[in-house]
């Protein structure tokens, strides 16, 4: 799932945080990463919910940072 970030300076921080959450992450340019939660035998909607939860925590740690899962 692609995550878009408004501040390019935070892309590596987001990448590192998601890796600490055991996600697989690839940087896709200055303002985007492709991320996948740890593999589980669940429907894709639950994997998206898990990734969104990690992202909400990261945004709380970086007030004012804009980051969202692309539609």
Instruction: Point out the residues of the chain with pLDDT beneath 50.
Output: none
Percent of the chain with pLDDT over 70: 100
Q: Which of 13, 43, 28 is nearest to 54 (CA)?
A: 13
Q: What's the whole-model pTM score? A: 0.91
What domain range is 46 assigned to? Answer: 2-69
> What pLDDT does 19 receive?
98
Q: How many domains does the chain have?
A: 1
> What pLDDT does 39 receive?
87
> What pLDDT does 24 receive?
97
Q: Rounded to an integer, what distance in angstroms lies between the CA atom of residue 3 and that of residue 16? A: 14
């Amino acid at each position: 799932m692609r995550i878009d970030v408004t501040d390019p300076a935070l892309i590596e921080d987001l990448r590192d945080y998601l890796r600490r959450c055991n996600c697989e992450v690839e940087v896709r340019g200055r303002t985007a990463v492709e991320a996948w939660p740890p593999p589980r035998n669940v429907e894709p909607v639950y994997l998206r919910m898990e990734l969104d939860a990690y992202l909400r925590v990261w945004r709380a740690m970086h007030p004012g940072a804009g980051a969202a899962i692309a539609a």
